[in-house]
Every structure is written in structure tokens, then in C-alpha cells.
Amino acid sequence: MSRYRFACAICVLLLLHGGLPLSGGTDTPVARTRPVRPSRQKIQDIVDDFRTHLSMPQEVSVSIVAKNPLMVSVEPLKGRDGPFLVSVEEGFLDLLNEDELKAVIAHELGHVWIFTHHPYLQTEPGANEIAMRLVSRESLTPVYEKVFNRAGSKGNLAQFLGDEPKAVLVNQALAPTH
């Protein structure tokens, strides 16, 4: 079978199984499952909501950029009291679902919180500790996996998120009886 026929056969199979859209309409299976990049305003709304929960008076703005060697970063624009700018790389943003996006924003705001309270103690685990006031450890885990994958490295989640919490068993003898 020639390459052309093989390619056509694959296209036909994909069309028959709903893998390719037949039109550009939004009711196609591909259009429904393809993630939509959140707008800068949607990300800004998450930032503002999280700032409120962390009681952070510093202004934090969002920028979506074509390239960011760190994928996502935050920096002060005018000294320690802000304002701050969170820069999110488009390509990385496209990999995130809504929970992961919230985890990323919570982590970056963790850096801002530390910078405005203890500027010389910047660490990834510290930023994650603050982030976990807003999101779960479980929502941060896939973000780190995507970062490691995108960077082409094997990372150690425990290094960034701490050890996995262990279940606590209640001693039967100490449990109240009725």
C-alpha cells in the first residue's frame, strides 16, 4: 500500500470513529474535548480571588507570553511591596486543566507571599506550603509532572511537595465508647 493510501485509510478510520471534525463547528467531538486556553482575564480573576484568601494587598497582574524559560514565573515590578507580574508561557498554559491552572497560580502567589513576608527565604517547598492553603497537594502533583516532562527531567516530587501524607490510625483503646 502506498503512503498516500495509508494516510487516507487512517483519515477515513478517524472520521468514522469521530476522531476528526467534519466541520469547524463547535458541536464536533474534537472541539468539545480540545482544551480552550483561558483568557488573561480568567487567570487574573483566579489571582485576585486567591490574593483575597491569602490577605495579600499587593497588586499582581497576569501576562501570557510566547516564551518563558521557567514556563511560569513571578517578579516584583517595583520593589518588595509590588506590584508583581505573573508571566505564563502560552505553550505550558495549553497543557493545564482548570485545577492545574489554579495550582500554578497558587504556587506563584506563594512566592509573592514569601517575598513580601520573608524575602530571603524563597524556596519551591515554601511556595507550595503557601499554595496548599488554597489548593490540594493532589492538584500540584500533575503540574510538577508536566513541568518535569516539558523540561525533559525526572524530578523528585517529595523535594518540592514534601513527603506524601500518611494515614493516621486511631488507637481503638483511645476511641470513645458508647
Every domain of the chain and the residues it spans: 40-150
Whether the link from the prior residue into 38 is cis, omega within 30° of 0, is no
pLDDT band at 160 (very low <50, low <70, confident <90, very high): confident
Q: What is the pLDDT of residue 84?
A: 95
Handedness of CA 7, 21, 142, 123 (dihedral sign): positive
Specify the DSSP class assigned to residue 77: S
The answer, yes or no, to whether residue 9 has pLDDT greater than 70, is no
The larger pLDDT score, comparing residue 160 to residue 20, is at 160
Closest alpha carbon to 157 in 166, 169, 145: 145
For 69-78, 98-107, 164-173, which range has the lowest pLDDT when averaged over its residues?
Answer: 164-173
Report the C-alpha gap between 77 and 111 in whole angstroms.
14
Q: What is the pLDDT of residue 5?
A: 31
Q: What is the pLDDT of residue 139?
A: 93
Does the predicted model carry a pTM greater than 0.95? no
| Helices 40-53 & 98-117 angle (0-180, nearest 10) | 50
The larger pLDDT score, comparing residue 68 to residue 21, is at 68
The answer, yes or no, to whether residue 45 has pLDDT greater than 70, is yes
Q: What is the pLDDT of residue 177?
A: 55
- Cell numbers given for 140: 500540584
- With residue 150 as reference, give the H or E element that holds it: helix 137-151
Q: What is the pLDDT of residue 61?
A: 96
Closest alpha carbon to 102 in 35, 42, 159, 145: 42
CB atoms within 10 A of CB 144: 19
Which of helix, strand or coil describes residue 85? Answer: strand
pLDDT band at 122 (very low <50, low <70, confident <90, very high): confident
Domain 40-150, what fold?
Zincin-like (3.30.2010)
